[in-house]
Amino acid sequence: MEQLLDGYRNFRKNADIELYRRLAKGQAPHTLVISCSDSRIIPEAIFSANPGELFVLRNVGNICRLDDPSVACAIEYAVNHLKVPHIVVLAHSDCGAVKAVEHREHLDSRGLIDWLCEECFEGCDLDCAIKASGIRQFERVTAHPAVKAAVQEGKLEVGLFFFDLATLSLARYNGRDWEKIC
């Protein structure tokens, strides 16, 4: 715990207090990011975003099953109430959730089985399987009625990105292929 408390003290020392004073009155994030819980994936760092800019849902494997209340709630709150103009599903290399499904012996407890057993990650290699899963999650998000309606009205854009840890490269799915951003 000391490490966390030291971290907090350091944060407190360097925090932009004016920014937090403004944010204390409310939030108006521009993007809902659905990301993996993986400790190496920090959406705010990857997109150079300040507090207040990203509304983030994180879970193991950035899974977007709409029958999960946490996923449905985050999407509905972001779209209907915060009226975010962007939703991004952020998939990443070396994702443990995809690896666990590929190596079924890792699915060794109730929570993991319940969360991941419905998922089917298929691909020629791990990156392909992760990207295929990302497309599946992206399709789930775009199928949500609130998302569909906002997209049709031209108020919302939904994107899918793949972040590669080893090279820091980012690729964007264009509906057919992956385009490297840089």
Applying CB under 5 A, the residues found at the interface with Zn ion are: 36, 38, 95
Among 164, 166, 168, 101, smallest CA distance to 127 is for 164
Is 95 a residue of the active site? Answer: yes
Residue 90: strand pairing partners: 35, 161
Element (H, E) at 104: none
Strand extents, DSSP E, 13-164: 31-36, 54-59, 86-92, 157-164
Is 120 a residue of the active site? Answer: no
Among the options 6, 40, 73, 128, which is catalytic?
40
| Closest separation in Å from C-beta 164 to Zn ion | 13
Among the options 64, 92, 127, 144, which is catalytic?
92
List, in sequence order, the alpha helices (H) in 15-53: 17-23, 43-46
| Closest separation in Å from C-beta 89 to Zn ion | 12
| Closest separation in Å from C-beta 8 to Zn ion | 26
Is 40 a residue of the active site? Answer: yes
Among residues 58 and 86, whose Cβ is nearest to Zn ion? 58
Among residues 10 and 169, whose Cβ is nearest to Zn ion? 169
How would you label 28-54 residue by residue, b for 16+ Cβ within 10 Å and e otherwise? ebebbbbbbebeebebeebbebeeebb
* Residues 139 and 69 sit within 8 Å (Cβ to Cβ): no
Among residues 75 and 130, whose Cβ is nearest to Zn ion? 130
Among residues 55 and 163, whose Cβ is nearest to Zn ion? 163
**Degrees, nearest 5: CA angle 142-163-177:** 55
Among the options 16, 21, 38, 164, which is catalytic?
38
| Closest separation in Å from C-beta 91 to Zn ion | 8
Is 124 a residue of the active site? Answer: no
Among the options 6, 16, 22, 36, which is catalytic?
36
